[in-house]
Amino acid sequence: MPHTRPAGEIKTDPDGADRQKYLLAQSIDHFMDTAALLSRVFQNDYTTMIVFMTILRGSVSHLNRDRGVRPEAVSGVFPDTLRRPISILAISDLANFPYETTRRHVMKLVDTGFCSRLGSREFIVSEEVLRSDLFTTMAAQNEPLVLDFVDHINRQLDGFWSGSAPRAAEAPADDATSSQDPGSTSGTAKARPRRSDGARP
């Protein structure tokens, strides 16, 4: 839901520059947290990870024009019958990667079973892959990262609107990192604390 300024409150950042830079910093932090989680599945190959995500989300973009929980999704996953396969050219365009780079990483995903080929030129990430233990665990690990990000942003935006954006206290050293080993895909990720300038404590 868009965040709107409560009536009658004084805004001390008239052009929004401080808020915009703060939100950019926080978005970068959240992207890095999420990418660190997802990339483990692909042996920390970020290009393969992005190609995978492009296939995954591109094949259901027609179902997500209106954001929200969709009744067509069963336990959070769309059935394969609703997915539209996507071509290497379309993946290349969406990810803004060179065609040959995209083709190489798509074939890698096919070889490793993360992506299915339909016909000679079209691909999907199947329902079976998304329901696997690996992705079920990843979804559980991702939840605290997203909830922490949303809660933090909402509280900080309230501060920007009122002219008193709160500063997070320095966290104890043992809270500054994830509770799991970077190479692990089990357990629950612990959201790392943020400072109000977007940097890590």
Separation between Cα atoms, residue 54 and residue 57, nearest integer Å = 5
Give a yes or no: residue 181 inside a domain: no
Give a yes or no: residue 200 inside a domain: no
80, 122 Cβ separation under 8 angstroms: no
User: What percent helix, strand, coil does the chain show, rounded to 5?
Assistant: 50, 5, 45
Give a yes or no: residue 100 inside a domain: yes
Task: Give the range of the structural domain holding residue 68, as residue numbers without chain letter.
Answer: 45-130
Which CATH number is 51's domain given?
1.10.10.10
Q: Is 123 helix (H, G, I), strand (E, B) or coil?
A: strand
The number of domains in the chain is 1
Tokens matching residue 172: 């104890």
pLDDT digits (tens, 9 = 90+) for 26-84: 999 999 999 999 999 999 999 999 999 999 988 888 877 766 666 666 677 888 888 88
Element (H, E) at 87: strand 86-87
Give a yes or no: residue 55 inside a domain: yes
End-to-end Cα separation, the chain, in angstroms: 29
pLDDT digits (tens, 9 = 90+) for 136-178: 999 999 999 999 999 988 888 877 766 655 555 444 433 333 3
- In this predicted model, which residue has the larger pLDDT, 179 or 85? 85
